[in-house]
Structure 1
Amino acid sequence: MDFFFIYYYHYLAIFLFVLLISKRILSHPKNQPPSPPSLPIIGHLHLLKIPLHQTLANLSRRYGPVLLLRFGSCPVLLVSSPSAAEECFTKNDIIFANRPTFFALKHLSYNNNTVSTASYGPHWRNLRRITTIEIFSTTRILISSPIRTEEIRSLTRQLFRKSDQSFQRIELKSRFSQLTFNVMMQTIAGKRYFGKKMVDLEEARQFYSDIKEGFSLVGVSNLADFLPVLRWVDFQGLKKRVVRLQKRRDAFLQGLVDECRVRKGEKGETKITVIDIMLSLQESHPEYYTDEIIKGVIVVILAAGTDTTALTMEWAMSLLLNHPDVLDKVKAEIDIQVGHGRLIEDSDLTKLPYLHCVIKETLRLYPVAPLLLPHKSSEECTVGGYDVPAGTIVMANLWAIHRDPKLWVEPTCFKPERFESMEEEKEGFKFMPFGHGRRACPGANLATRVVGLALGTLIQCFEWKRVGEEKEEMSGGIGITLPKAKPLEAMFRPRRTMINMLSQL
């Protein structure tokens, strides 16, 4: 009898094993995208080197613009051509509208409960509607124009008072970071953290540092997202770091919400901030618009609108310092359209097309998110004629697309003029610094306005040159965003034609 049971279970185990293998083979896509040789368990993780976007671009050049990789247990579709990106974000836009669940991102986004991380569905659509209509609509952006104007003039005032008639040396990275943080905090909570009338400088520095730390903790840097067995031992100490970070961030955000709630009840208060808008929604639908939802909206705006905008300004100014002829052309355009009797305003930006071309060319060469935030397929589909199984993570390599010699003449050269003759609708999927489809960045219009107004004002008011004879170093740093490896420093002095205007600030 014992022999019978041993015999029975032995063949049952073989039968189940064969059934499992057969199921995997039958369910396997018949026409998979090309894929480099992989290793057991880790897949292609051994191929990933920093900077990731350049490593993936090299793989695409070798194996093709639609490439299937395996990061541990996760299948990853890498797309590096406009046609493949178009298929993902038009024909298959709903299928790819979900986000993968990364451990750090889940905890830092209130259990994937933000507009950036929530799964596609009614909840995400409502969050998207709120951010698009209530926060980033044309009307709201116009209403917040005085905030941008005042913060940029405050920076201009600081630089003028620091300067004299000779060239002075200045580090610009921190100045741009403080500017964008003030703009976003004024918009969100009516508070400024740097400069005059600041509240708590140390608190601001800590939270800004927390934002950057959050970027470093998400994505492919966390091996436990792709090798689940590592989660049992808290590999890299990630869990402890994420818990500490989220505790600090949540306390800061809750403080902002509580302050605005108290201020909202005070008579005579006329400020309308993002938190005020969210608190009004909370009054009518308290069961849905909880404090957690409000904090999720805030953290996305701060994370997406501070560091990335500051980085774009830093890259743009670095490019202009390396190309003084382009800098002179921008300056001439501003002098003609605005003059020397007043400072640039939001309404002037439409009259400065060449400045806008400079910003676009900066975003082409140095997209602050060189790899779009990953998407995840909800069902089987085809891309580029290949079968893509459900549950596949999709990564679009903007760095590769924006520098593809088949799409751009002299792709690595800084030539803003290339956008003068290119109509926006023809840019299509070969230029998409803010993403595309349902999950494209809703704050693109605000970001370009901040960058345009800030750069335009600095160029209008000051003369700029490099610190030395050598060109500014243009190497990128590490992160899911694209920082400069070496923070930008420059020499500046007030333009003689603007001294009278600047002295009145």
Structure 2
Amino acid sequence: MDFLLLILGLCLSWGLLQALVYIANRGKSNKVGKLPPGPRPLPVIGNLLELGSLPHRSLAKLASAHGPIMSLKLGRITTVVISSSSMAREILQTHDVTFCNRMSPDSVTAVRHDELGLPWIPVAPLWRNLRRICNVHLFALKTIDSSQHLRHRKIQELLAYIGKCSETRSSVGIGEAGFSTTLNLLGNTTLSMDLADPTSESAKEFKELVWQIMAEVGKPNLADYFPVLRRMDPQGVRRRTTGYNWRMFDVFDRIINDRLQVREVPGSVRKYDMLDTLLDLVEDKKEGMDLFLMKHLFLDLFSAGTDTTSSTLEWAMAELLRNPEKLSKAQAELEQVMGRGNPIEESDIDRLPYLQATVKETFRMHPAAPLLLPRRAGATVQVGGYTIPEGAQVLVNVWAIGRNLASWKNPDEFIPERFLGLDVDVKGQNFELLPFGGGRRICPGLQLAMRMLHLMLGSLLNSFDWKLEDGVTPETMEMGDKFGITLQKAQPLRAVPLPIKK
């Protein structure tokens, strides 16, 4: 409601001026070429009101009328929306060079994150250095393998917590438990410490900051649609995000300074984690790494890596509880391969095809980032017989692609079996399934995220039986979503863990 009132106020204040500019630009756009089809925009605000509170669904509905490549006017921003795998291939592969850079939201400009944050900076020497650091030092398979024991320990702590809930028949907030565990998995892999310890005040602060940053970045912001308002920051999004980022940096400063002091002690034992690796690069003056850039890298890692993984875990558990026969199949596979109640190792994942299919089906129906991150056209280019002008924002609606009848039979049904024997993965080469994006901007932490997700989901299913809270049945489960930086359940999932029957 507040956002709508701001839009209406903007219309009254700037109507005449913006309408004149709009008319002038419309004439220019016709000279560029034929834009993709789309709904007729209103003066000043364009198609903003058609986005609604669930833009991924609204845009999918519009695409059913206007086609898999569609143009809209969101305020002053020409936006092209992609809703099919063939058009996604054009953007992410054929014309990847043209569309490899980002359209940065105003909130991301806080503390220069648009200039130093890996997901947002242009493809240039700094971006290449950071990608090299990720690929060679942080997310190389050898590096990930060496920290398996840390993730195993965190999973055992998660199971111990759920075991206590099982003893008292208390329900568990799956998303919250997954968030805390993911935060600790990343914390131990990168910093060799827990960041979601409920007994630690600094850990509580860290967890709350992560939530607040994600909430701000995911909010609709007038400054993104009307660049003239960026200096004013009318909704205070950039101001609040700046405060949260600096508080996050303060947490990183304390952790980094503590590690630097330990490293100065003669005979101190190295942790051989990501923090030690990055500090080595800083001290050796390699890869252009410095302490400020390191904090931006950590900000991306913890902001992007926690909520996406925990929300996918929550959706997977919700779909399995909603489809008891699929839950039984997943648990039967685990029992046959692992033995009921036995711990799961990361090396076991390849022997669990139904578990892998369940994760893929969850990604198809509930991609964590339904519109990926916005891209910017670096030049005017022809795609699908239409012109995408230089500077246009491009959104790839992977939620719509996952529900596209041309690619998927019965797309609104949860059917993990569709992936059994199907050579489709999530590594950006199969454009029907793009939860991590594609092209050169594909998520660098893909391998680590996949390991954590399979490990958590498989452990929950193999260590406990599960039931919905009293009064909730599979038929009455609330499966609505809410849009933000990640696609979350509108009503968080709570389920009761039960002792397994061996």
Native 8 Å contact 2:342 2:462 kept in 1: no
Q: In structure 1, the residue corresponding to 2:172 is in which secondary structure? A: strand
Change (3 A) 1:109 1:314: farther
* Cα offset, 1:424, TM superposition: 2.3
For residue 421 of structure 2, give the secondary structure of its aligned residue in structure 1: coil
Tell me the CA shift for residue 386 of structure 1: 0.8
Q: 1:259 to 1:286 in 2, by over 3 A?
A: farther
From the superposition, tell whether residues 228 and 420 of structure 1 become closer, same or farther in structure 2 (CA, over 3 Å). same
One-letter amino acid of the counterpart of residue 455, structure 1: L
Say whether the 8 Å CA contact 1:68–1:76 is kept in structure 2: yes
The equivalent of 2:61 in structure 1 is 58
SS of residue matched to 1:417:
helix
State the match for 1:413 in structure 2: 413
Question: For residues 121 and 36 of structure 1, do their structure 2 counterparts lie closer, same or farther at Cα, with a shift above 3 Å needed?
Answer: same
Contact 1:69 1:77 in 2 (8 A): yes
Aligned to 2:129: 126
For residues 394 and 367 of structure 1, the distance between their equivalents in structure 2, rounded to whole angstroms, comes to 18
Contact kept? 1:168, 1:493, Cα under 8 Å: no
Aligned equivalents of 1:287, 1:179: Cα separation in 2: 31
Cα distance, 1:60–1:120 mapped onto 2, change above 3 Å? same
User: Are 1:43 and 2:50 matched, yes or no?
Assistant: no
**Unaligned runs of at least 5 residues, structure 2:** 1-19
Alignment coverage as a number of residue pairs: 475
CA contact (8 A) 2:376 2:392 kept: yes
Task: Spell out the pairing of 1:369-384 with structure 2 (5 A cutoff).
Answer: 369-384=369-384
Quick one: distance in 2 between partners of 1:108 and 1:466?
43
SS where residue 28 of structure 1 aligns? helix
Percent of pairs with identical residues: 33
Query: Which deviations, in whole Å up to 9, do the C-alpha atoms of 1:38-61 show, x marking residues without a partner?
Result: 122222212221111111111111
Report Cα offsets for 1:377-422 as digits up to 9, x if no partner: 1111111111111111110001110011221111000000000021
CA contact (8 A) 1:57 1:80 kept: yes
Distance of 1:287 and 1:447 partners within structure 2: 25
Aligned to 1:173: 175
Q: TM-score, normalised by structure 2?
A: 0.89
Residue 229 (structure 1) shift: 3.2
Q: How does 1:182-201 map to 2 (within 5 A)?
A: 182-195=184-197, 201=200
> Please, which runs of 5 or more residues in structure 1 have no aligned partner?
1-16, 498-505
Distance 1:477 1:22 in 2: 34
What SS does the aligned partner of 1:492 have? strand
Instruction: Tell whether the 8 Å contact from 1:377 to 1:391 is kept in structure 2 after alignment.
Output: yes
**Highest CA radius of gyration, 1 or 2?**
1
What is the distance in 2 between the residues matched to 1:408 and 1:370? 17
| Deviation for aligned residue 1:22 | 11
Residue 28 and residue 172 in structure 1: after superposition, are their counterparts in 2 closer, same or farther (change >3 A)? same
Alignment TM-score, normalising by the size of structure 1: 0.89
Give the C-alpha shift of residue 109 in structure 1: 5.6
Distance 1:413 1:252, change over 3 A: same
Query: What is the SS of the residue equivalent to 1:490?
Result: strand
For residues 107 and 174 of structure 1, do their structure 2 counterparts lie closer, same or farther at Cα, with a shift above 3 Å needed?
same
Q: CA deviation at 1:219?
A: 5.7
Cα shift at 1:493:
1.7
Q: How does 1:262-273 map to 2 (within 5 A)?
A: 262-266=261-265, 267-273=267-273
Cα distance in 2 for residues equivalent to 1:439 and 1:236: 30
For residues 69-80 of structure 1, the aligned pairs below 5 Å read 69-80=72-83
1:500 alignment counterpart: none
Distance of 1:375 and 1:221 partners within structure 2: 17
Tell me how far apart the structure 1 counterparts of residues 425 and 462 of structure 2 sit (CA, whole Å): 30
Q: Distance in 1 between matches of 2:424 and 2:379?
A: 32
Query: For the residues of structure 2 that align with 1:295 and 1:94, how far apart are their CA atoms?
Result: 28
Q: Which of 422, 446, 449 is matched with 1:447 structurally? A: 449
Q: Is the 8 A contact 1:109 1:117 kept in 2?
A: no
Q: Which residue of 2 aligns with 1:365?
A: 365
Residue equivalent to 1:301: 301
Partner of 1:347: 347
Residue 393 of structure 1 corresponds to which residue in structure 2? 393
State the Cα distance separating 1:28 from its structure 2 match.
2.8
Does the Cα contact within 8 Å between 2:147 and 2:189 map onto a contact in 1?
Answer: yes
Q: Give the structure 2 partner of residue 142 of structure 1.
A: 145
Alignment of 1:489 onto 2:494 = yes
- Equivalent in the alignment of 1:151: 154
